[in-house]
Amino acid sequence: MASFSLTSSSPTLHKATIIDPSSSSSSSSSSSHAFPHRPPFVLRMPHQPRRLQTPLVLPKIQSLRHKTRATPVTKDLWDNSILKSETPVLVIFYANWCGPCRMVHRIIDEIATEYAGKLKCFIVNTDTDMQIAEDYEIKAVPVVLMFKNGEKCDSVIGTMPKEFYVAAIERVLKS
């Protein structure tokens, strides 16, 4: 049975040769096949492509980038996490089906990383924690509320640029 192989004289040009496993030469043969269900040739590559390898540093960078994120909060944790907090708190009210909420959520995650230690960031899913949304009269999402000493002190309704949220945070931190 003859097999087919590629040989290369340069990195881009390949030439094909037919290899006959029953003889030691690289010429074709017309002998009967021992295995009629197999093709009379086998394609062989001169070299295997190298696998892509991820540097070991990349997972560390990714873990540092997303180390501080907005934490989900439920009705059970609301009082201790938001109302009794000594540091200012930012809360985003969102829904899973809301596209603009995802955009704001990414912005708030960035803000949580930048203001770690100065500000706590939480997220409330209005579909699962409707009582909290009703208590603060949330009619549409996304809504971002700022709390300081357990009191609501600022709010941002809708999707805004990051600078808008940062300005609201700075106002609350200075007050």
Please choose, from the candidates 147, 69, 143, 141, the residue with its C-alpha nearest in 3D space to the C-alpha of residue 106. 69
Given the residues 90, 92, 98, 112, select the one marked as catalytic.
Answer: 98
- The DSSP secondary structure of 31-70, one letter per residue, reads PPPS-TTS-S--EE-SSPPPPP---THHHHHHHHHTSS-P
- Name the active-site residue from 73, 101, 146, 169: 101
Altogether, the residues listed in the chain come to a count of: 175
Q: Name the residue type at position 111.
A: I
Would you say 124 and 151 are in contact if contact means Cβ atoms under 8 Å apart?
Answer: no
Task: Give dist(CA 95, CA 104) in Å, integer.
Answer: 11
Residue 111's alpha-carbon distances to 54, 102, 106, 107, in angstroms, are 28, 14, 9, 6
| Both structure tokens of 40 | 């009379």
Q: Has 121 been annotated as catalytic?
A: no
Q: Which residue has tokens 């390898």?
A: 53
- Active site amino acids: 98, 101
